[in-house]
Amino acid sequence: MSETRFDVLTIGNAIVDILAQSQEDFLVKEDIIKGAMNLIDGERAEHLYAAMGPAIEASGGSAANTAAGVASFGGRAAYFGKVSDDHLGGIFRHDIRAIGVHFETKPLAGDPPTARSMIFVTPDGERSMNTYLGACVELGPEDIEADVVAASAITYFEGYLWDPPRAKEAIRLAAGIAHENDRDFAMTLSDSFCVDRYRGEFLELMRSGTVDIVFSNESELHSLYETASFEAALEAFRADCAIGIVTRSEKGCVVVTRSETHAVPAHAIDALVDTTGAGDLFAAGFLFGLTSGRSLADCARIGALAAALVIQQIGPRPRENLKDALAQEGI
């Protein structure tokens, strides 16, 4: 096994988030599916950008947010994702490197432009994402830095990557390199609509051992196994992956292996502001805990802490130092 240079490598769609507060009637008027990640084209992206109110621009993308969280905990993080050599691409590169994440994926010269996601946050804190993938669809096997995968304790990718076709090849290549070097490979199911599109392929990744660790929320789990029974879905999940993690919002989370079950409560919050990034930061805390030798229950507690902190602010990247927050919790 080669030397471990990174605790967690994440692979995902490199996206600049454009966040704005909105009312429920705006979502209805614009035919936006609430709480989902809606894929849109360039023309729709321009329309929604013009229609939205005052906004905050911030580097985002699910797996990039996870890498940012790992770095904030003091972990060694790396990231693969495709941007274009344009203004938003420059913002993305600057932001992720400034927080200490290794990011050397070669940018595209010219079209398509860097991806952007218009995120509308309703008064209940729910976020509805409208994503133009742009340069993300160009991520391919040539963007997999084999030496970085081999030197990362865990490589983690977002299920959203199953939309761009060449990314599938890249993911399978990375999984092979990780396993050749006795590393773990992880994924998040990302979105119940994403699971609906790729249920069979996601189950094949799990059952073939291509992925070892799988993150899911409750709705994604029900979608994956097409059952309304949480218990039945959880037992199927246990059988299909080495470690399965199910987040359940205010009900906390459940971690299963083939022989263990750990139910961990949610971390207390003062007020829910914006759920953007909750799952991403939970994964960051859990993976940081795993690579630093914590028990599965403590990994879940660290994930719950990170998620609780990020949902009490606007935006998907932690504003306070997670390493300090963890020290205060004493986990």
Q: Specify the pLDDT at position 2.
A: 67
| pLDDT per residue as tens digits for the range 94-145 | 999 999 999 999 999 988 999 999 999 999 988 899 999 999 999 999 999 9
**Confidence (pLDDT) at 125:** 84
How do residues 172-207 score in pLDDT, each as one tens digit?
Answer: 999 999 999 999 999 999 989 899 999 999 999 999
Q: Are the CB atoms for 255 and 300 separated by under 8 Å?
A: yes
**What's the confidence (pLDDT) of residue 146?**
97
Q: For the chain, give every domain's residue range.
A: 6-13+62-105+136-329
Written as six digits, the tokens of 87 are 């203004």
CATH class for the domain made up of 6-13+62-105+136-329: alpha beta
pLDDT tens digits, one per residue of 286-314: 999 999 999 999 999 999 999 999 999 87
Residue 101 CA: distances (Å) to CA of 8, 110, 318: 10, 25, 14
* CA-based nearest residue to 297, from 329, 250, 253: 253
Please give the sequence-ordered ranges of beta strands (E in DSSP) within 81-190, or none if there are none: 115-121, 127-132, 152-158, 184-188
Q: In 3D, which of 32, 15, 14 has the Cα closest to residue 23?
A: 32
What whole-number distance in Å separates Cα of residue 86 and Cα of residue 44? 20
Task: Name which residue leads in pLDDT, 135 or 315.
Answer: 135
In three-state secondary structure terms, 41 is: coil
Round the average pLDDT of the chain to a whole number and report it: 94
Cis peptide before 107, with omega less than 30 degrees from 0? Answer: no
Structure tokens at 176: 């092979």
Spatial separation of the C-alpha atoms in residues 226 and 239, rounded to whole Å: 16
Look at residues 231, 223, 243 and name the one whose alpha carbon lies nearest to residue 291.
243
pLDDT band at 56 (very low <50, low <70, confident <90, very high): confident
